[in-house]
Amino acid sequence: MKSSITKVSIIGAGSWGTSIAIVIAEKYPEINVCMWAYEPEVAESINLRHENELFAPNIALPPNIIATSLLREAVLQSEIVILATPSKVLVDTVSKIRKYLVEGVCLGYLSKGFCKINNEIFTISQSFGKLLPQMKNRIVAISGPSHAEEVSKKYQTCLNIGSKSKRNRELIAELLTSDYLECRVTDDIIGVELGGTLKNPAAIAAGIISVLSDCGDNLVGVLISEALKEMTALATALKARPETIIDISGLGDLVSTVISEHSRNRRFGQDIGNQIISKTKYPDFIDRLILQFTPQFVIEKIAEN
């Protein structure tokens, strides 16, 4: 790592952001790793007890990890900024930090999903490009099969690092590569981010399958095959390369998310399946009616727990 790098910022102190902060801090003890936490109590836990008690309990954090609940403080004078917030708040978060970013900053993201700007849907990199047009060809997607529960235990992991900027994708790859985390770089950033997002419906379906009778591994195999075909078709339509979708951030992430008990989407599917089993007429008439007009409401109702 270039000696000029003195500060790296992780925006978001969930389990995945915390795991990546640990990877960087342990590899580069001379670098200050500053985490932004939405919850003040999480920042306090990291600074006073060197542990993220809410999202990564019982994992000791290196001393060069510090935390703040102030966005400005988190990103000021930081040469590398990595966003790890939920995709639904990314646009708002980037809008708040852009005036504090230093010139030439390397901006990456761990988040998966799509963003909405003025009622239009964009990938995360496209959204960042609209908010930060001067940086649109230098943004870095970091994605792959990456359950934080395994990375925090130093289980072997591999990620795709996607960016149109050769410098930035190699910079992030060097930053994250360790004895247990390998990085594979590509210029197909759209393919990298789509793989991590489009596999989620299949993971929910896998959760449903796992609790229903007469459904087993054979059907999961069919599900993975069908999901990969749909992911490849949609990604191709959005100008991504098919070979990226069958790489780590696509097929790799799809398989691990479909089969893993760490997968939140799989657990969500299991909750849906259990409700179907426990309520023979689920969803009820009212929910079926609401589904026709505001399906998001019913999904959120199911997901409350």
Cα separation, 173 vs 177, in Å, equals 6
Nearest-10 Cα torsion for 237, 239, 241, 245: -60
- 3 state DSSP class of 184: strand
CA dist list (Å): 11 to 7, 36, 72, 91, 92: 13, 5, 11, 13, 12
CA triplet 142, 146, 151: central angle to 5 degrees? Answer: 115
Is 199 known to be catalytic? yes
Instruction: State the catalytic residue, choosing from 199, 229, 239, 281.
Output: 199
Number of other residues whose CB lies within 10 A of the CB of residue 153: 11
* Among 96, 31, 106, CA closest to 63: 31
What residues does 72 pair with on adjacent strands?
none
Centroid of chain to Cα 285? 35
Q: What are the catalytic residues?
A: 199
